[in-house]
Structure 1
């Protein structure tokens, strides 16, 4: 009779031990992920955006000029992320939100006669 009362206790202790030993391992796995590689915004703009926006967006091309755009940062962010029907493709699968913010900052820092720099 005593053994039947101990079985549930032992089972709970074993489950607790397995969980206690397993959780730190998952935490270590998360910590060991390499950090995301920083985006080279200038290169990304040149190779991806430059196809339509040309010369770093400083002059009208197949797509509008981006330098000195009157559009808000939120507008630019949303267009880059979600695209525009019949116009620009969406890039939400190519860039993280943080990277899109970096691209918007890059656009805002464009100067007519200076070599563009990463933000």
Structure 2
């Protein structure tokens, strides 16, 4: 009976410690996940507006500005300080170029094409790093 109690206590202690470890590991990646969520939200909103034909509204500037701001933070969020990753850096440069090429004041079909390019830049990086 004593061994059974020790086994149950050990399993419970292991489960609690594993949960604490998993929680700590999730918090370590909070900033990159937050940036990706913001990018996904803003890109989705912009693509919806381009599809619906409401992209001529001034509200399309907000997603464009947010994506440009987030693009500036990608290096710091995804690479540790002082680290160099040639491939990831190239993906970030490609993403920045795609966002810069997007004219948020242009006609909807042009915006849809530019947003597809931005989405493709995201997907290219996700193929290698997700």
Q: Which has the higher contact order (CA 8 A, sep 6+)?
A: 2
> Which structure has the larger Rg?
1
TM-score (norm 2): 0.34
Query: Greater share of helix residues, 1 or 2?
Result: 2
